[in-house]
A and B are shown apart, each in its own frame.
Chain A
Amino acid sequence: MDNLDYDLKQIVTQRRLVGLWRILAGYRWLYLLAIVSIGLSALMRSTIYYALGYYVDNVLSSDGSILRQSLLVGTAVVGLALLQGALTFVSGRSAAKTAEGITRRLRNYLYDHIQRLSFTYHDNMQTGELLQRSTSDVDALRRLFAEQLNGIGNITLLFLVNFVALLMLNVRLALYSVVVIPFIIGVSLYFFKKVGEVYETYQEQEATLSNRLQENLSGVRVVKAFARQSYEIDMFEVDNQEKYRRGKRLIFMHASFWPVTDIMCGIQMLAGFFLGARMAINGIITPGEYLTYAGLVVLIIWPIRNLGRLITQMSTGLVSFDRVRDIIREDREPLDAGTYIPEDGLRGAVQFKNLHFAYDKETPVLHDISFDVEPGQVIALLGSTGSGKTSLVNLLPRFYDYTGGSLTLDGVELREYPRIWLRRQIGIVQQEPFLFSRSIRENITYGVGRTVSDAEVETAARAAAIHDVILSFPNGYETLVGERGVTLSGGQKQRVTIARTLLKNPRILIMDDATSSVDTETEASIRAALQGLMATRTTFVIAHRIQSVMDADLILVLDNGRIIQRGTHTKLLDQPGTYQQIYNLQARIEAELEKEIASVGSGSNGNGNGQHNGRFQEKITTTIATN
Chain B
Amino acid sequence: MSDEYRFEEEEFTTQFNGQTVLRIIKQGLHHWPLMLFFLVSIATVSALDSYFTYLSKRIMDEGIIAGNADVLTRIILQYGALMLLQAVMVFGFITCAGMLSERVQYDLRKTMFGRLQELSLSYFDRTPVGWLMSRVTSDTQRVGDLVSWGFLDVTWGFTNITTALVFMFFISWRMALIVLVMIPVLIVVATIFKKKILVEYRKVRKLNSKITGSYNENITGVRVVKSLRREEENLREFGELSGDMYKAGYRAAWLSALFLPTVLLITSLGVGSVIVYGGYQFQLGGMTIGGIQAFISYIFFMMWPVQEMARVYAEMQQSIASGERIFSLIDAVPEIQNQPGAGDPGSIRGDIVFDNVDFYYEAEKPVLTNFNLTIKQGETIALVGPTGAGKSTLVNLICRFYEPKNGRILIAGHNYRDLTLHAIHSRIGMVLQTPHLFSGTVMENLRYGRLEATEDEVIAAAQMAGADTFISKLEKGYHTQVGEGGVLLSVGQKQLISLARAVLAEPDIFIMDEATSSVDTLTEALIQQGMDRLMEGRTSFVIAHRLSTIKRADRILVIENGGVSEMGTHAELIRKRGHYYDLYTKQFRDEMEQAYAAQKVETELALAA
**A joins B in a complex:** yes
Q: Which residues of A approach B to under 8 Å, CB–CB?
A: 1, 52, 55-56, 59-60, 66-67, 69-71, 73-75, 77-78, 80-82, 84-86, 88-89, 91-93, 95-97, 99-101, 103-104, 107-108, 111-112, 114-117, 119, 122, 127, 130-131, 134-135, 146, 206, 209-211, 213-233, 236-237, 240-241, 243-244, 247-248, 250-252, 254-256, 258-260, 262-263, 266-267, 270, 273-274, 277-278, 280-281, 287, 290-291, 294, 335, 384, 397, 399, 420, 423-424, 426-428, 430, 434, 436-437, 446-447, 449, 489, 500, 504, 520, 585-586, 589-590, 592-593, 596-597, 600-604, 606, 608-610
Known A247-B102, A273-B56; contact A108-B239, beta-carbon cutoff 8 A: yes
Name the one of A270, A397, A447 contacting B76, with C-beta atoms under 8 angstroms: A270
Q: How far is the CA of A127 from the CA of B223 in the complex (A)?
A: 13
Known A222-B436, A589-B588; contact A88-B276, beta-carbon cutoff 8 A: no
Smallest CB gap from B117: residue in A: A229
Smallest CB gap from A263: residue in B: B87
In the complex, which residues of chain B have a beta carbon less than 8 angstroms from the beta carbon of A252? 95
In the complex, which residues of chain A have a beta carbon less than 8 angstroms from the beta carbon of B268? 77-78, 80-82
In the complex, which residues of chain B have a beta carbon less than 8 angstroms from the beta carbon of A248? 98-99, 102
Smallest CB gap from B227: residue in A: A428
In the complex, which residues of chain A have a beta carbon less than 8 angstroms from the beta carbon of B581? 597, 608
Smallest CB gap from B246: residue in A: A104
Smallest CB gap from B293: residue in A: A291
Query: How near does chain A come to B454, taking the closest CB pair, in angstroms?
Result: 17
Contacts between chains A and B (CB distance < 8 A), count: 410
Known A218-B129, A267-B80; contact A104-B243, beta-carbon cutoff 8 A: yes
Identify which of residues 430-489 in chain B touch chain A, using a CB-to-CB cut-off of 8 Å. 430, 432, 436, 438-439, 448-449, 451, 484-485
Q: How far is the CA of A111 from the CA of B102 in the complex (A)?
A: 39
Q: A96-B250, A247-B102, A260-B87 provided; 18 other pairs, C-beta below 8 A?
A: A56-B289, A81-B265, A89-B258, A89-B260, A93-B254, A215-B438, A215-B484, A217-B133, A221-B401, A228-B451, A233-B114, A273-B59, A277-B76, A281-B68, A335-B229, A423-B229, A449-B233, A585-B596
In the complex, which residues of chain B have a beta carbon less than 8 angstroms from the beta carbon of A335? 229, 231
Query: How near does chain B come to A266, taking the closest CB pair, in angstroms?
Result: 4
Q: How far is the CA of A546 from the CA of B288 in the complex (A)?
A: 104
Main secondary structure of the interface of B (DSSP, over half): helix
Smallest CB gap from B424: residue in A: A227
Q: List 27 A-B contacts (CB under 8 A).
A: A66-B280, A67-B279, A93-B257, A96-B249, A100-B246, A100-B250, A101-B246, A104-B246, A108-B242, A111-B235, A131-B216, A217-B133, A222-B448, A226-B449, A229-B118, A236-B110, A244-B102, A255-B90, A255-B91, A255-B98, A266-B87, A274-B76, A290-B60, A397-B226, A520-B586, A593-B592, A608-B577
Smallest CB gap from B222: residue in A: A122
A262→B90 contact, CB < 8 A: yes
Q: How far is the CA of A490 from the CA of B399 in the complex (A)?
A: 30
Q: How far is the CA of A112 from the CA of B62 in the complex (A)?
A: 70
B303-320 vs A, Cβ < 8 Å mask (1 yes, 0 no): 000000000000000000
- B519 located at the interface, meaning its Cβ lies under 8 Å from any Cβ of chain A in the complex: no
A447→B432 contact, CB < 8 A: no
In the complex, which residues of chain A have a beta carbon less than 8 angstroms from the beta carbon of B64? 277, 280-281, 287, 290
In the complex, which residues of chain A have a beta carbon less than 8 angstroms from the beta carbon of B585? 593, 597, 609-610
**Shortest Cβ-Cβ A-B pairs, 5 listed:** A92-B257, A447-B228, A85-B261, A81-B268, A251-B98
A71→B276 contact, CB < 8 A: yes
Smallest CB gap from A230: residue in B: B117
A221→B272 contact, CB < 8 A: no
Query: How near does chain B come to A472, taking the closest CB pair, in angstroms?
Result: 14
A67→B276 contact, CB < 8 A: yes
Query: How near does chain A come to B446, taking the closest CB pair, in angstroms?
Result: 12
- B79 located at the interface, meaning its Cβ lies under 8 Å from any Cβ of chain A in the complex: yes
Known A213-B133, A430-B224, A592-B592; contact A70-B276, beta-carbon cutoff 8 A: yes
In the complex, which residues of chain A have a beta carbon less than 8 angstroms from the beta carbon of B102? 243-244, 247-248, 251
Most buried by B among A92, A423, A426: A92
Most buried by B among A86, A116, A267, A270: A270
Q: Which residues of B approach A to under 8 Å, CB–CB?
A: 56, 59-60, 63-65, 67-69, 72-73, 76, 79-80, 83-84, 86-88, 90-91, 94-95, 98-99, 101-103, 105-106, 109-110, 113-114, 116-118, 121, 124, 129, 132-133, 136-137, 208, 211-231, 233-235, 238-239, 242-243, 245-246, 249-250, 253-254, 256-258, 260-262, 264-265, 267-269, 271-273, 275-276, 278-280, 282-283, 289, 292-293, 296, 388, 399, 401, 421-422, 425-426, 428-430, 432, 436, 438-439, 448-449, 451, 484-485, 501, 505, 511, 570-571, 574-575, 577, 581-582, 585-586, 588-589, 592-593, 596-597
Q: How far is the CA of A107 from the CA of B223 in the complex (A)?
A: 20
B133→A60 contact, CB < 8 A: no
B215→A135 contact, CB < 8 A: yes
A277→B430 contact, CB < 8 A: no
Q: How far is the CA of A91 from the CA of B69 in the complex (A)?
A: 44
Query: How near does chain B come to A591, taking the closest CB pair, in angstroms?
Result: 10
Known A231-B451, A254-B94; contact A114-B219, beta-carbon cutoff 8 A: yes
Known A81-B268, A437-B213; contact A70-B597, beta-carbon cutoff 8 A: no
Known A116-B231, A229-B117, A243-B106; contact A423-B226, beta-carbon cutoff 8 A: yes
In the complex, which residues of chain B have a beta carbon less than 8 angstroms from the beta carbon of A602? 575
B265→A217 contact, CB < 8 A: no
Known A146-B253, A225-B428, A229-B118; contact A255-B225, beta-carbon cutoff 8 A: no
Q: How far is the CA of A347 from the CA of B15 in the complex (A)?
A: 67
Q: How far is the CA of A93 from the CA of B245 in the complex (A)?
A: 16
Known A85-B262, A135-B215; contact A77-B271, beta-carbon cutoff 8 A: yes
A127→B575 contact, CB < 8 A: no
Name the one of B245, B264, B272, B589 contacting A75, with C-beta atoms under 8 angstroms: B272
Query: How near does chain B come to A543, taking the closest CB pair, in angstroms?
Result: 13
Query: How near does chain A come to B458, taking the closest CB pair, in angstroms?
Result: 14
Known A70-B276, A77-B268, A585-B593; contact A434-B224, beta-carbon cutoff 8 A: yes
Q: How far is the CA of A70 from the CA of B275 in the complex (A)?
A: 6
Q: How far is the CA of A215 from the CA of B246 in the complex (A)?
A: 39
In the complex, which residues of chain A have a beta carbon less than 8 angstroms from the beta carbon of B211? 107, 135
Q: How far is the CA of A250 from the CA of B105 in the complex (A)?
A: 15
Q: How far is the CA of A399 from the CA of B233 in the complex (A)?
A: 19
In the complex, which residues of chain B have a beta carbon less than 8 angstroms from the beta carbon of A117? 222
Q: How far is the CA of A221 from the CA of B429 in the complex (A)?
A: 11
